[in-house]
Amino acid sequence: MPFTTMADGAEIFYKDWGSGTPVVLSHGWPLNSDSWEAQMLLLAANGCRCVAHDRRGHGRSTQTWHGNDMDTYADDLATLLDTLDLHEVILVGFSTGGGEVARYLGRYGTARIAGVALVSAVPPFMLRTADNPNGVPGAAFDDLRASSIADRAQLYRDLADGPFFGDNREGASVSRGIRDAFWRQGMQAGHRNALECIAAFSATDFRKDLDSIDVPTLVIHGDDDQVVPFEVGGKASAERIRGATLTVYSGAPHGITDTHKERLGADLLAFVDSRRTGP
């Protein structure tokens, strides 16, 4: 299995499927690169080189004690792009991965980037503050941390069986397999890493990062997202990013990489096709 080594010695696992236009995908919390398997299979079969890594502390990457913050995640992503020497990249970030992508763009610019897709993503800024009055109250994230410390195995069950895939909505039908896969991936993450990542995705302000984006950007968000509310995430990001295209999935939950995998794959492939510079 391929790994790349960070400046502090952390080993970051990544998948590298297919050939063609490079598409780099960053996953959500507390998941890993396996969560992108449906989209990677489609894109790699249609002329893309798909790279997806396990964020430090998640999946098969090193469970470091330190560095569980967005700046370090972005630095790790930059090292991966530099190591593989990828150019004209389509960067795709889901949920927390959208924050990682945004912070990368804020710190490193778009010299290697041809386009950006934010999917159910946490930017511009989730936490409710005096200058972000429409954000999510901090008590919600305090509860999440308390549940993780008390019994994170059950927390991941509750998230998968409830708001993450919208399985708590009337008429919803999310397979046991999809919910078990969420739990399996979550339990692969380090306890401290997953715990500190809650602050990383909820309390990091990405507004200046979004202001720096100068490449075509696609924002995809479900309007029944119970994890990153549409108005806090996709709607606000699309309003902030210059020239962004907003695609709203009516009635869709947070975990659209699984619940709407066919539509999401088709939308991402169409976006990649619009940005291709080669055959």
| Contact in structure between 161 and 168 (CB atoms under 8 Å) | yes
As a whole number of angstroms, the distance between CA 180 and CA 164 comes to: 12
Tell me the domains of the chain and their CATH numbers: 3-276 (3.40.50.1820)
Q: Which of 111, 112, 91 is nearest to 102 (CA)?
A: 91
* pTM recorded for the entire structure: 0.97
As a whole number of angstroms, the distance between CA 151 and CA 222 comes to: 29
- Residue linked to tokens 């995908």: 25
What are the catalytic residues? 95, 225, 254
DSSP state of 206: -
Please report, as a single letter, which amino acid is at residue 30: P
On the question of pLDDT at 146 being above 60, the answer is yes
On the question of pLDDT at 277 being above 80, the answer is no
Q: Would strands 113-119 and 48-53 be described as parallel, antiparallel, or unpaired?
A: unpaired
Average pLDDT over the chain, rounded to an integer: 97
As a whole number of angstroms, the distance between CA 79 and CA 82 comes to: 5
As a whole number of angstroms, the distance between CA 70 and CA 68 comes to: 7
- According to the model, what pLDDT value does residue 274 have? 95
As a whole number of angstroms, the distance between CA 160 and CA 124 comes to: 24
What is the pLDDT averaged over residues 83-110? 98
